[in-house]
């Protein structure tokens, strides 16, 4: 359901409140449409992939999103924390993608993300840093 704090068009909705960021993210992600999801990101956003490598900008982020979309399974999210200071929001989210994928493979992906959103000059919130495996321990060497 799109509330009064969202802008809606035929392809996407964005939140005008920090409290609506997660619902907006879910609507975008579960569209399974890369162009729709990319509208949720700032132009110069950063996405940290599962190897801990940063991907900058919508073109590189699109490649990472396709890795999630190829399964055809919806994402489920549990909000752990949302901290807001002015035009910036820090989000800690538990997420999972599970079920039988389009190719018949059983999928069970999960993580705890460490993400940041900012309010644009138009008043809508978009991601500018997404780290879906944010609390995963990675080797530094």
Question: Please, what is the average pLDDT of the chain?
Answer: 88
Kindly tell me if the per-residue pLDDT of 124 is higher than 60: yes
Domain 12-130 sits in CATH at 3.10.450.50
What is the percent of the chain where pLDDT is above 70? 87
Kindly tell me if the per-residue pLDDT of 9 is higher than 80: no
Label residue 6 by pLDDT band (50, 70, 90): very low
- The per-residue b/e assignment along 63-74, b for 16 or more CB within 10 angstroms, e otherwise, is ebbeebbebebe
CA geometry: angle 102, 104, 109, nearest 5 deg: 75
Task: Give the sheet arrangement for strand 41-48, strand by strand.
Answer: 54-56, 41-48, 125-130, 106-119, 88-100, 75-85
Query: Which tokens in the block code for residue 91?
Result: 């989000």
Which pLDDT value is given to residue 134? 85
Domain residue ranges in the chain: 12-130
Kindly tell me if the per-residue pLDDT of 4 is higher than 60: no
Which pLDDT value is given to residue 12? 59
CA geometry: angle 27, 28, 34, nearest 5 deg: 150
Distance, in Å, from the CA atom of 53 to the CA atom of 11, rounded to the nearest integer, reads: 29
What tens digit of pLDDT does each residue of 21-70 get?
A: 999 999 999 999 999 899 999 999 999 998 899 999 999 999 999 999 99
């Amino acid at each position: 359901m799109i509330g009064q704090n969202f802008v809606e068009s035929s392809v996407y909705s964005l939140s005008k409140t920090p409290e609506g960021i997660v619902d907006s993210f879910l609507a975008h992600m579960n569209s399974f449409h890369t162009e729709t999801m990319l509208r949720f990101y700032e132009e110069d956003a950063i996405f940290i992939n599962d190897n801990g490598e940063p991907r900058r900008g919508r073109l590189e982020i699109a490649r990472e999103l396709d890795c999630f979309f190829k399964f055809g399974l919806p994402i489920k999210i549990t909000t752990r924390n949302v901290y807001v200071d002015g035009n910036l929001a820090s989000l800690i989210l538990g997420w999972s993608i599970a079920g039988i994928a389009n190719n018949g493979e059983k999928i069970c992906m999960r993580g705890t993300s460490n993400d940041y959103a900012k309010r644009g000059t138009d008043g809508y919130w978009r991601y500018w840093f997404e780290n879906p495996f944010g609390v995963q321990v990675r080797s530094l060497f």
